[in-house]
Amino acid sequence: MLFSLNTQELMERPDLWEAVHRLRYKIFVEEMGWTDLKRPDGLEIDQFDHDEAVHQLVIRNGELAGYQRMLPTTRAHLLTDVLADLYEGTPPSGPNVWELTRYAVAPGFRDGKRGVSTVGTELIAGFVEWGLKRNVNQVIIEFEPMWVLRALQLHFLATPLGYQRTYGNQQVVATLLTFNDHTLDVVRSRRNHFAPVLAWGYPDMLGMRRAS
C-alpha cells in the first residue's frame, strides 16, 4: 500500500520520518553520490521538505520499500531553484502541476533485474491515483532519459522541458508527464493489479509485521 502524508503528518510518526530520511540518504548520497547533501547523521533533508510537501511511502512487510516526494509548483521547487539549467522558456506551474522528486526503491525491493520493480510501479500507480483525486494531471520529473521510454510505454504524454544535461556521470532531462484515467488503466494492467494502491491513514509501526 502507498501512504500519502504531508510533512506535518510525517513528523508525527518519528519512525516513519526517520526511515524516510535514512532511505533518502542511502540512495541519493551513498548510491547516487550527491555529496552536497552529505550529513553526519545519515539523514537526507533539504529545503523542500516544507509544510506543503507530500511524502508518499510504499510499505511492504512493515518496512519502507519505496518513497517519492511531491512538491507544489506554486512555490519554489527543484526545477526553478536548483536545476534551472534543465528548462528552456517558462516551466509549467499551477495547482494541477506538481514536481515528483526523490523517487526511490529500497535495495531489498528491486526485484526486476533490469526492469522496474513492483514497488517502483506502485509508486507510479500511487502518484497517478493521488493526482487524479485532487485534480492534478501533470508532474514534472527530472530523470534519466531512459525513463522517457518507460513513461511512453505507460501511456503518459511526455514533453521535454529542456535539453538533457550531464551531472557527474548521470544524464538528466526534465520532463512534463501528463496523465488521465487511461494512463491509470494502462499502469494498472501493466502491473496486473487493478485495486487502488493509495491507502488512507497511517501504516502500522515499522518493523511490526502483520500476523498472517
Partner 1 sequence: MGHFDRTLEFIDQLQHANTPALVCEKLLGITSEFGLTALMAGTVPQPGTPRGQQKDHVLLCEWPVEWLERYVSRNYVDHDPVVSHMKQLQAPFQWREAAQGIRVDKSSGEVMGDAGEFKLRDGLAFPLITLDGQIVMVSLGGEAVELSGAEFGLVSLVSTYAIGRAMQLHTMANKTIDHIELTPRERECMQWAAVGKSEWEISQILGISEHTSEKHLLNAKSKLGAVNRVQAVAEAIRRGYIS
Residues that bind partner 1 (CB under 8 A): 88, 112-116, 121, 145-146, 148-155, 157-160, 162-164, 171, 173, 190
Closest CB to partner 1 among 74 and 159? 159
Closest CB to partner 1 among 19 and 158? 158
Are 123 and 56 spatial neighbours (Cβ–Cβ below 8 Å)?
Answer: yes
Closest CB to partner 1 among 48 and 156? 156
Closest CB to partner 1 among 81 and 88? 88
Pairwise CA distance, residues 207 & 116, whole Å:
25
Closest CB to partner 1 among 16 and 176? 176
CB of 36 to partner 1, least distance (A): 23
Grid coordinates in use for 108?
Answer: 531489498
Pairwise CA distance, residues 82 & 75, whole Å:
13
CB of 33 to partner 1, least distance (A): 16
Are 62 and 210 spatial neighbours (Cβ–Cβ below 8 Å)?
Answer: yes
CB of 88 to partner 1, least distance (A): 5
Burial label for 76, CB within 10 Å (0-12, 13-18, 19+), is middle
CA-CA distances (angstroms) from residue 73 to 80, 96, 138, 160, 171? 9, 9, 11, 17, 23
CB of 50 to partner 1, least distance (A): 31
CB of 112 to partner 1, least distance (A): 5
